[in-house]
Structure 1
Amino acid sequence: MKGINILLVIIVCFVSCKGQNKQSATQQSSENSAHYSSFGEEISEDNALAASEMTLKYENLVVSDTLTTKFKGRVIDVCQAKGCWMNVTLDNGTQAMVKFKDYGFFMPKDIAGKEVIVNGLAFIEEMSVEEQRHYAADGGESDAAIASIVAPKKTYRFEADGVLITQ
């Protein structure tokens, strides 16, 4: 009887460790093309729009539209609580807030300034004052900056299913 229990414990440990390695390999830095770390679904850098092209795409969207696309940009900031969102530069001082499909993966908190390629859905959203304040707090803004948010605003949003980060 003891032998069966020991055997079961060994099998459970082996199976749980095997699943953990597989998850880590897909979410963390599996190399894409020697200079990118990959998060989420496996994507390539092929056919990624430049930030200026993506800005034009956003300018032609209205609040109810969505667009499946891929684009390159530079990370401005990342959620410092969990890495659950990031802001990416576009053109003319604009930016897109990127979240991750089904909270299936998160970004490292130290990637501000790095170039990323994001793949997924672009859309425009009316962001409430409360939501703006929440993201400002997550981003480490001061109490005065958070209190100065008093009106809803139209924002460029993106739901990424895959992300490549320069190393």
Structure 2
Amino acid sequence: MNTFYGEAFEYEQPVLVSELTSRLSESDSTMVIAKGKVVEVCQAKGCWMTLELPNSETMRVTFKDYGFFVPKDLGGKEVVLKGKATISETDVETLQHLAADAGKSEEEIAKITEPEKGYAFLASGVTVVE
């Protein structure tokens, strides 16, 4: 039986995270159950993670209402998540905060000077694929 973080949900054929990028255009968002590989998890609390996308890009995943966290050791594992995928822009201050959470050096953090457009996912539930 799967352990769920946040809301438990049923799934049979989740969409691959790598396929979400083609479903999203500039102003689109989509509610979806998706499956992907975790690249990185917030090492402070487990309050965000990134998932692998094609072309060495990543999708940042945050959790609805800051209502739950995931284990900090999920890097490299497959997860299924339910929620809303969007295209978003992240400001410099937030990017620097996220880099600090990920354990980046002061030097690496100082190099962040531009906002970043990317893919985001607001998850209401997450489970690890066993």
Q: Which TM-score band (shorter chain)?
A: over 0.9
Q: Deviations over 1:62-90 (max 9, x none)?
A: 1x432101111111111111111000112
Judge conservation of contact 1:118–1:164 (CA < 8 Å) in 2: yes
String of CA shifts for 1:20-71, please: whole Å, max 9, x gaps.
Answer: xxxxxxxxxxx23xxxx3111112331211233122123xx21x43210111
Q: Counterpart in 1 of 2:22?
A: 56
- Tell which has more relative contact order, 1 or 2 (C-alpha 8 A, sep 6+): 2
**Bigger proportion of residues as helix:** 1
In the TM superposition, what whole-angstrom CA distance separates every residue of 1:8-31 from its partner, at most 9, and x where no partner exists? xxxxxxxxxxxxxxxxxxxxxxx2
Q: How many residues align?
A: 130
Report what 1:114 is aligned to.
Answer: 77
Instruction: Extract structure 1 runs of 4+ deviating beyond 3 A.
Output: none
Larger Rg: 1
Matched with 2:89 is: 126
Give 1 or 2: higher strand fraction: 2
Identity of aligned residues (%): 45
What CA RMSD, in Å, does the superposition of the two structures yield over aligned residues? Answer: 1.3
**Partners of 1:159 and 1:150 in 2: CA distance:** 25
Q: What amino acid does structure 2 have at the position aligned with 1:56?
A: S
Please, what TM-score do these two structures have when normalized by structure 2?
A: 0.93
Partner Cα separation in structure 1 for residue 108 and residue 60 of structure 2: 18
Q: Is the 8 A contact 1:51 1:91 kept in 2?
A: no
Structure 2 residue runs without a partner (length 5+): none
Contact 2:59 2:119 in 1 (8 A): yes
Q: Which runs of 5+ in 1 are unaligned?
A: 1-30
TM-score by length of 1: 0.73
Q: Aligned with 2:127: secondary structure?
A: strand
SS at match of 2:19: helix
SS of the equivalent of 2:94 reads helix
User: Secondary structure of the equivalent of 2:55?
Assistant: coil
Cα distance in 2 for partners of 1:120, 1:161 equals 5
